[in-house]
Amino acid sequence: MASPSNVPKPGRTLFALFAVIAILAGVALLQGQTKPKLGLDLAGGTTVTLTAKTEKGKNPPSGLMDQAVKIMTQRVNGLGVSDAEVAKQGSNNIVVNVPGEGQSRVVGLIGTTAKLQFRQVFAYADGKPTAAGATPSPSATPSGTASPSGKPTTKPSGSPSASATPRKRAVSDALAAPTPKPSGSGSPSPTASPSASPSSPLVSPTPSTGTQTYPGVTDKAVIQQFESLDCYNGDRHAPGANDPKRKFVAACAQKVEDGQVGKYILGPVRVLGENVKSATAMPPNSQQGQASWSVSLKFDGKGAKQFGDVTTDASKAYQSDSSSPQAQVAIVLDGQVVSAPQINQGAITGGSASIDGPADSFTQQYATDLANVLKYGALPLEFKQSSIDEVSSTLGSDQLTGGLIAGAIGLGLVVVYCMLYYRGLGLVAVSSLIVASVITYEAVVILGEGMGFRLSLPHIIGLIVSIGITADSFIVYFERLRDELRAGRRLRSSVENAWKRARRTILVADAVTFLAAVVLYFLAVGGVAGFAFAMGLTTLIDLVVVFFFTKPMVALLSRTRFFGRGHPMSGLDAKRLRRTTQDASGVAARKTSQEA
């Protein structure tokens, strides 16, 4: 006759648990990381002080400083860096502590202002200072188009597209994904892509005199700045290029392309970065002819309309004169031109744009970093690095040693208590603690590599405290089991009956602990949040160990001779348990009679 389906199968449960532990170990090995990552207090790191730049050295408004701290914290979390601290110091300083070595990239991204602007181009030239009366050399526009599906096609006459800037300075082969419009043939208009038409000089000379003219530019000071601007020296941040209030600005290209750096005269701001609703790093798409990573932008309603207006103006300029610089729309980040694609199509009203570029410079890391700083918006203030220091881990190492010694002493006391009080059953408790430790170690290693989790002193304190929480679960179950044996029930039936009674208590206790950890994690910051995270993680692991190791192991051992027959050293000797209870009851009765 087939056995009932509800008969416990502890062997299968244990096998499944050990299989999961083996899989976690395999994941850690595949990640190439076998040790936990350590936090700032244990492994050292970088501390940078950022000072807000204000007019005449005045203190910035407190509200703007708080907003900057919030944005910087979001950027740190977005990069997956755990245990980093961002705090305001004084009235105009923000101190950022980032754990680990080689964190210059993270520090640089945190302090990036990330002011994004879309401006129409009015002039372009090589980044060297322009001599009076000189004529800039012409530049060619890359050829080739893409169909709506992204496959290369032959561009029909009059077909709209968007061209990249000269010398591959475009960061977008597809600046935007327009709303498909029916063409004369009934097919939708293609997305923005490089144009096949060659480009004439973007700054055209006046034939009669040979001097340069800048159609549409009314600010003579900007023209003088543009002609004297040298983008090959310095940091390529032209004065005033990041000011959205200025009607015309001179700006340098952000990156060196083919050994050259371009410079631009840009018109008024047409779309601001605050109108970008989302930014996402996207991998290369060979089907659409895209060889590099890109950043996909989504505008809000206002931004979509503004983007449609500026692309309309650029397209009209192209239709009037295909060599006109005003056919280009520049994407400006912190005063530098990241991209300036040429628009030779109608209004792009889809509310989206894509920033990409050459595969050698627009890497996954660059795209991810750019998307991260754009996603959380621009900082309300500009900051400069006042100081940057490397933090030593010497003090943290001493504290770590002391913490590990304290943890070892606590664990040793728990083991001694379990062995003296529960005897053979104490081996189950010790084994459960070992399994819990292995799972915790694997979880910390995997989280460190996958999510940037770093083990700090508060985390270690939380893990040590969890030893007591885990031991509580064992004690609740063991005492329920011993109560069943004192009542005269058989061991095998006592194992299941005790589990039913203990299970609810364990779940309630761990649920309360986990809820407290969650509340503490979201309401606290810094080390307290780290303590809460560790306590919540180990509470979940405690449930896994109790349900999938402790109880099945007790059920399996109850079938052995040593435990099944109640050996005196097993800790489950029914006669001894009843005798102990009777002796305790007798002592209590005698005390009561004497008091009476």
Q: Determine phi and psi for 98, rounding to 5 degrees.
A: -120, 120
Whether the CB-CB separation of 391 and 46 falls below 8 Å is answered with yes
DSSP, res 111: T
Mean pLDDT of 494-516: 91
Name residue, tokens 């004529």.
Answer: 135
Tokens of 359: 């595969």
pLDDT at 586: 44
pLDDT for 120 beyond 90: yes
257 lies in some domain: yes
Encoding tokens for residue 403?
A: 């913490």
The mean-pLDDT minimum among 101-110, 112-121, 198-207, 554-563 falls in 198-207
Q: Do 346 and 454 belong together in one domain?
A: no
Q: To the nearest whole percent, how much of the chain has pLDDT over 90? A: 15
Mean pLDDT within 407-429 = 85
Tell me what pLDDT residue 87 has.
83
3-state class (DSSP) for residue 398? helix
DSSP 8-state class, residue 560: S
Segments in 376-490 forming alpha helices (H): 394-422, 424-451, 457-486
Residue 372 lies in a domain: no
pLDDT recorded at residue 80: 62
User: Under DSSP, is residue 323 helix (H, G, I), strand (E, B) or coil?
Assistant: coil
* Confidence check: pLDDT of 268 > 90: yes
Q: Are residues 94 and 178 in the same domain?
A: no
Q: Same domain, yes or no, for 139 and 186? A: yes
Mean pLDDT of 460-485: 83
453 and 551 inside one domain: yes
Reduce the secondary structure of 346-391 to three states and give it as a string.
CCCCCCEEEEECCCCCCCHHHHHHHHHHHHCCCCCCEEEEEEEEEE
Any idea which of 3-12, 97-106, 172-181, 583-592 has the lowest mean pLDDT? 172-181
| Residue 404 predicted with pLDDT over 80 | no
Banded pLDDT at 462 (limits 50, 70, 90): confident
Residue 357 has a pLDDT of 67
Which among 363, 380, 404 is the end of a domain? 363
Do 40 and 394 contact (CB within 8 A), yes or no?
Answer: no
Q: Which of 58, 89, 111 represents a domain boundary (last residue)?
A: 111
Q: Pairing state of beta strands 336-339 and 249-253?
A: parallel
Contacts of 109 (CB under 8 A, 6+ apart): 75, 79, 369, 372, 373
- Cα–Cα distance list, 295 to 163, 251, 266, 447 (Å): 18, 22, 23, 26
Q: What is the mean pLDDT of residues 75-90?
A: 73
Mean pLDDT for the stretch of residues 350-373: 77
- Residue 165: strand pairing partners: none
Q: What is the mean pLDDT of residues 202-217?
A: 54
User: For residue 352, with 0-12 CB atoms within 10 Å meaning exposed, 13-18 middle and 19 or more buried, which class applies?
Assistant: buried
Query: CA geometry: angle at 178 spanning 360 and 215, to 5°?
Result: 80
The pLDDT assigned to 15 comes to 92
HSE on the CB side for 119, CA within 13 Å? 30
Output the CA–CA distances (angstroms, integers) from residue 522 to 304, 526, 529, in the order listed: 35, 11, 7
Is 455:448 a contact under the CB 8 Å cutoff? yes
pLDDT at residue number 21: 93
In this prediction, residues 234-255 reach a mean pLDDT of 86
Structure-model confidence comparison of residues 578 and 133, the more confident one:
578
Q: For the packed helices 10-30 and 424-451, what is the interaxial angle rounded to 10 degrees? A: 30
Mean pLDDT, residues 494-508 taken together:
90
What gap in Å lies between CA 331 and CA 362, rounded to an integer? 15
Distances (CA, A) of 499 to 3, 15, 177, 348, 541: 21, 20, 60, 66, 18
Q: Report the pLDDT value the prediction gives residue 543, as an integer from 0 to 100.
A: 92
444 shares a domain with 400: yes
Residues 224 and 295 in one domain: yes
Asked whether 172 and 348 are in contact (CB, 8 A), the reply is no
Judgement on whether residues 528 and 504 belong to the same structural domain of the protein: yes
Q: Are residues 65 and 121 in the same domain?
A: no
- Rounded to 5 degrees, φ, ψ at 296 are -90, 125
Look-up of token digits 């099944």: 564
CATH number of the domain encompassing residue 104: 3.30.70.3400
Question: Which of 259-273, 348-362, 453-467 has the weakest average pLDDT?
Answer: 348-362
Q: Summarize the confidence of residues 539-545 as an average pLDDT.
A: 92
Window from 206-215, 311-320, 455-464, 531-540 with minimum mean pLDDT: 206-215
Residue 226: give the domain boundaries: 116-363
**DSSP structural state of residue 450:** H
Rounded Cα gap, residues 332 and 117, in angstroms: 5
For residue 370, being part of any structural domain is answered with no
With a cut of 60, say whether residue 400 has pLDDT above it: yes
Statement: residue 85 has pLDDT above 50 = yes
Identity of the highest mean pLDDT range in 152-166, 396-410, 522-536: 522-536
Model pLDDT, residue 192: 36
- Give the pair of three-digit tokens for residue 105: 């990239």
Verify that 105 and 122 share a domain, yes or no.
Answer: no
Phi/psi of residue 5, nearest 5 degrees:
-70, -20
Question: 13 is written with which tokens?
Answer: 């449960």
Asked if 180 and 190 touch (Cβ cutoff 8 Å), the reply is: no
What is the separation of C-alpha 352 from the centre of its chain, rounded to a whole number of angstroms? 23
Residue 269 lies in a domain: yes
One domain for residues 279 and 154? yes
Of 111, 136, 153, the residue at which a domain comes to its end is 111
Do residues 311 and 343 touch, judged by C-beta distance below 8 A?
A: yes
Residue 430 is part of a domain; what is its CATH number?
Answer: 1.20.1640.10
Across the range 191-209, mean pLDDT stands at: 33
**Largest separation between any pair of C-alpha atoms in the chain:** 126
What pLDDT is attached to residue 458?
81
Cβ–Cβ < 8 Å for 299, 271: yes
Please state the domain count of the chain: 3
In a domain, 4, yes or no: no
Res. 101: pLDDT tops 70: no
- Considering the domain architecture, whether residues 327 and 193 belong to the same structural domain is answered as yes
Smallest CA-to-CA distance from 263 within 103, 158, 66, 121 is with 121
* pLDDT beyond 70 at 158: no
Give the span between the Cα atoms of 352 and 303, in whole angstroms: 9
Distance CA 484, CA 574 (A): 9
Instruction: Please check whether residue 188 lies inside any domain of the structure.
Output: yes
Under the banding of pLDDT at 50, 70 and 90, the label for residue 183 is very low
In a domain, 205, yes or no: yes
Quote the CA–CA distance of 230 and 253 in Å, as a whole number.
11
CB 328 within 8 A of CB 139: no
Share of the chain above pLDDT 70, in %: 75
How high does pLDDT run on average in the chain? Answer: 75
pLDDT for residue 562 = 84
In this structure, are 63 and 151 located in the same domain? no
Residue 595 lies in a domain: no
